[in-house]
Structure 1
Amino acid sequence: MDDERELAEFARRWSEAELRGDVAALDELLTDDFTAVGPQGFVLDKKQWIDRYASGALIHDAFTWEEVTVRRHGRAAVAVGVQGQQSVYDGRDADGHFRVTQMIVADGAQWKLAAVHLSPTGGRTPLND
């Protein structure tokens, strides 16, 4: 499988794992030193990111990953896309529409997500248009 198809398959697996809150899949898809910067500037490590699902605090009714462009840089890639979600976090509405930057790295024969940064677009999600 070539890199372009592998990265497309990685994106599909990641967005499915996020939608389902699949802790085991996310544990496999994220690097051990994964870092996320949330839409309001907070920072989460891998354990904190996954614990949102493990605790049941974050539940997605819908999750999309669209308008994605990927640029390869050696054994790494930068993906920029639009994430839409219909979600509940800790009992509160967490619907959103975000411009997302992902740093994806080759870890042996697998691609893994090393970092993600979310910025709110202020727009409606494509899920509720």
Structure 2
Amino acid sequence: MDRELAEFARRWEKAELGGDVHTLDRLLADDFRGVGPRGFVLDKEQWLERYASGDLIHDAFDWTEVEVRRHGESAVAIGVQSQQSIVDGRDADGRFRATQFLVKDEAGGGWRLVGIHLSALAEQLP
């Protein structure tokens, strides 16, 4: 993985773990969409609001087994997102195959996450 994308991944993982709305606001593209493991779709504002409101809290959050394919000014990263989390007071622990879609910021501000799609790994499906 190239250095810029590796640094982006490190910053994103740390911001998600800490619920750092300010950093996530800079890392997510304005037209960001996140697809959760149960098929729900959140825009950037909704993604950030879960942290700002305290509805989503991570006790652990890891982004591992990452493979990145860069295509010019865009990239696709596929990896495993593992988390120990509480969402709306309920347990949301899990391991997910995650696909991230990234683009280089046109204004020279580095990489931005434009989308993420999460799927529960088979070992945790009923």
CA distance in 2, matches of 1:5, 1:29: 16
Q: Which residue of 1 aligns with 2:56?
A: 58
SS at match of 1:24: helix
Q: Which residue of 1 aligns with 2:119?
A: 119
Deviations 1:18-48 (A, max 9, x none): 0000000000000000001110111000000
How much has 1:57 moved relative to structure 2? 0.3
2:84 paired with 1:92: no
**TM-score of the two chains, using structure 1 as the length reference:** 0.92
SS at match of 2:2: helix
Structure 2, unmatched stretches of 5+, are none
Q: Which residue of 1 aligns with 2:21?
A: 23
CA distance in 2, matches of 1:24, 1:51: 11
CA distance in 2, matches of 1:74, 1:5: 15
CA distance in 2, matches of 1:123, 1:95: 13
Among residues 31, 34, 37, which one is paired with 2:35 in the alignment? 37
CA distance in 2, matches of 1:18, 1:57: 13
Deviations 1:88-112 (A, max 9, x none): 0111000010000000100024001
Contact 1:97–1:122 under 8 Å retained in 2: no
CA distance in 2, matches of 1:123, 1:11: 25
Structure 1, unmatched stretches of 5+, are 125-129
Alpha-carbon RMSD: 1.1
SS at match of 1:123: helix
CA distance in 1, matches of 2:70, 2:90: 37
Deviations 1:56-86 (A, max 9, x none): 0000000000000000011000000000000
- Number of equivalences: 122
CA distance in 2, matches of 1:45, 1:122: 26
Q: Which residue of 1 aligns with 2:80?
A: 82
